[in-house]
């Protein structure tokens, strides 16, 4: 473990983040989980699918 992480943890313990920042982080995580859930249940549109290509960029 890098010693800088210990210094960072000490600073974080002395000055914890505000409640607003914690809500923001959990909100972003929640939105990401919702998007993953929608993608897994409904799927993604065809225009978002990647095409598999060979070595020279020619579709298989």
- Say what the pLDDT of residue 47 is: 81
pLDDT at 60: 56
| pLDDT above 70 coverage of the chain, percent | 87
- Please give the angle made by the CA atoms of 30, 14 and 3, to the nearest 5 degrees: 85
* Separation between Cα atoms, residue 43 and residue 45, nearest integer Å: 7
For 5, other C-beta atoms within 10 Å of its C-beta total 9
At 51, is the pLDDT very low, low, confident or very high (cuts 50, 70, 90)? Answer: confident
pLDDT above 90: residue 57? no
Determine how many CB atoms are found less than 10 A away from the CB of residue 21.
10
């Amino acid at each position: 473990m890098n010693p800088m992480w210990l210094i960072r943890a000490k600073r974080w313990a002395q000055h914890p983040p505000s409640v607003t920042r914690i809500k923001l982080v959990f909100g972003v995580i929640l939105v990401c989980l919702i998007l993953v859930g929608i993608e897994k249940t409904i799927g993604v549109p065809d225009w978002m699918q990647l095409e598999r290509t060979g070595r020279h960029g020619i579709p298989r």
